[in-house]
Structure 1
């Protein structure tokens, strides 16, 4: 039985006329990495804000840990970074984390362990103000991990970082996930979600366009590239296929989309039985990027 960490059901948020989040539902099970993916202004941060109790919902429900806990208590088992990390510039990394421990009633022994995870142990006595943006973000992650949360929530974790900084944060996210912590991150970067997440919720203007596994998004129905001696006859025959969806011609090749997954062998046999001999057949998958663009441009 999978442990449900967070359950969101038909969540709505309106700001006057703006419907920022529309009927969003999502189940978060232990041990996975979930990405909420969407362009800026798609309702990602609002959704995170609602479940973290910093934004009031308009309607809908959400419950933590199968509803066994009030939100206030549940949030003690959640680590979250939803705005720029707020540390004291003239205090060292360790001093800043000691302060967090004091506030949250956590043992200081956790500090080294968490600094190790984020690769800052050798800079533990450096003042926060000497840190690069990437290091500041890593310290924020260490801080959010101090209470050994069941789930870590990150809003745009690599925003504003250079390529090296981005790479480091993504590696840390993978490491934390590999140790069994569930992660929920919001991102507008497809590449990020593809590299670190197992599950994805695609939002646009507050609405869900896709929800499921990252693999499932890439393995959705692809298309075929075909060529025959007589393309006109080929096109006419394809249009009669029970699962035919749309067709186009490009550089002498016929591009055909079906509304369900069709086996290449079956398609070849179907055409052969109708007297069409193919001299070119390629089954193509749409890349996640192409699908994401197709989804968000609709």
Structure 2
């Protein structure tokens, strides 16, 4: 895999506060990466460091093959890490002409990128007449003008209404489908689950997980169970290697699987052991449940 960005043992301290702690991960070409974590988890700081707007305390990072300077590498990067800042009384098109001048890009790119973000029909409208979602889409168009190899977005749907959120997510998917690598920071599990192929989960600057989203969402899932003899069922599950965590809430038992298992095989096995189920539902674990388990484990280890 061709790597776009490699981060090694990156640490950033602001006085006594450690915003990012010993962080390492690699971004490979052609994927959509999410840095996921609550506010204050170090997402924006990490993006700031690799974009040369925040100085690291220790560790290192390199773009592409490691032989390119960060200054040159950033010419192949498109990034939006703050609210879009355009001239309010100029049209969307004229604002992008200014960006082209700064980036040394031909004006012919403007219409092409406005079409990508669905703003071609509003190119002559003044920026101040744009909705918040349109402003964000114009910012994405401006970040795409130099045909970057990677697009970096910090909380791209923050403050948008549901329609605006949907439009931005669809645009991100379309850009990714054409082969552009994307790195986005988000505190929204739903966003990462819908848009990203890979995720790095941060909490208080510490990496809890890095890998594929579909691997983080446990492929084995869990059973929700009710039966005529709860104690017997609980004992059986706790002594069965196929099951991990067992939760009991009133008369409902939730049994998390360590390995794949079919519900009909499981039901037959229990019946042979003399347990008759009155309720059996097999479910997939959502990213939210996985995320909560990760952060709970981290909290427990720190106590």
Q: Same fold (TM over 0.5)?
A: yes
Paired residue for 1:209? 208
For residue 76 of structure 1, report the CA deviation from its aligned partner: 0.2
Alignment gaps of 5+ in structure 1: none
SS of the aligned residue for 1:235 comes to helix
CA contact (8 A) 2:192 2:199 kept: yes
Of the structure 1 ranges 239-248 and 113-122, higher mean CA displacement relative to structure 2 is found in 239-248
C-alpha contact 2:221 2:283 (8 A) present in aligned 1 = yes
CA distance in 2, matches of 1:248, 1:130: 53
1:172-222: CA deviation from partner (whole Å, max 9, x where unpaired): 111111111110000111111111111111111111122111111222553
Whether the 8 Å contact between 1:7 and 1:66 is mirrored in structure 2 is no
Task: Give the secondary-structure state (helix, strand or coil) at the position aligned to 1:172.
Answer: helix
The residue aligned with 1:44 is: 43
When residues 40 and 249 of structure 1 are mapped into structure 2, their CA distance, relative to the original with a 3 A threshold, is: closer
Aligned with 2:274 (options 270, 273, 276)? 276
Conservation of the 8 A alpha-carbon contact between 2:33 and 2:184: yes
Question: Whole-Å Cα distance in 2 between the matches of residues 254 and 141 of structure 1?
Answer: 47
What is the CA–CA distance in structure 2 between the aligned matches of 1:168 and 1:225, rounded to whole Å? 36
Name the residue aligned to 2:293.
Answer: 294
| Distance 1:244-1:140 versus aligned 2 partners, 3 A rule | closer
How well do the aligned residues superpose, as a CA RMSD in angstroms?
Answer: 2.1
Q: Deviations over 1:148-187 (max 9, x none)?
A: 0000000011111112211111111111111111100001
Kindly tell me: are residues 105 and 41 of structure 1, through their superposed partners in 2, closer, same or farther at Cα, counting changes over 3 Å? same
Tell me: CA distance 1:222–1:145, structure 2 relative to 1, closer, same or farther (3 Å).
same
Distance between the aligned counterparts of 2:111 and 2:245, measured in 1? 58
Alignment partners' CA distance in 1, 2:103 and 2:193: 34
User: How far is the alpha carbon of 1:282 from its aligned partner?
Assistant: 3.5
Corresponding residue for residue 263 of structure 1: 261
What's 1:233 paired with?
232
Give, in whole Å, the separation in 2 of the partners of 1:83 and 1:163. Answer: 21
Shift of the alpha carbon at 1:121? Answer: 0.9
Q: How does 1:110-125 map to 2 (within 5 A)?
A: 110-125=109-124
The unaligned stretches of length 5 or more in structure 2 are: none
CA distance in 2, matches of 1:290, 1:236: 24
Deviation at 1:54, TM superposition (A): 0.6
Aligned length: 295
Moved more, 193-202 or 221-230: 221-230
Matches within 5 A, 1:135-154: 135-154=134-153
Q: Would you identify which runs of 4 or more consecutive aligned residues in structure 1 move more than 4 Å?
A: 265-273
The answer to whether the Cα contact below 8 Å between 1:118 and 1:139 also exists between their aligned partners in 2 is yes
Find the residue that maps to 1:66 and give its secondary structure. coil
Aligned-residue offset at 1:102:
1.0
Residue 244 of structure 1 and its aligned partner are, at CA, apart by 4.9
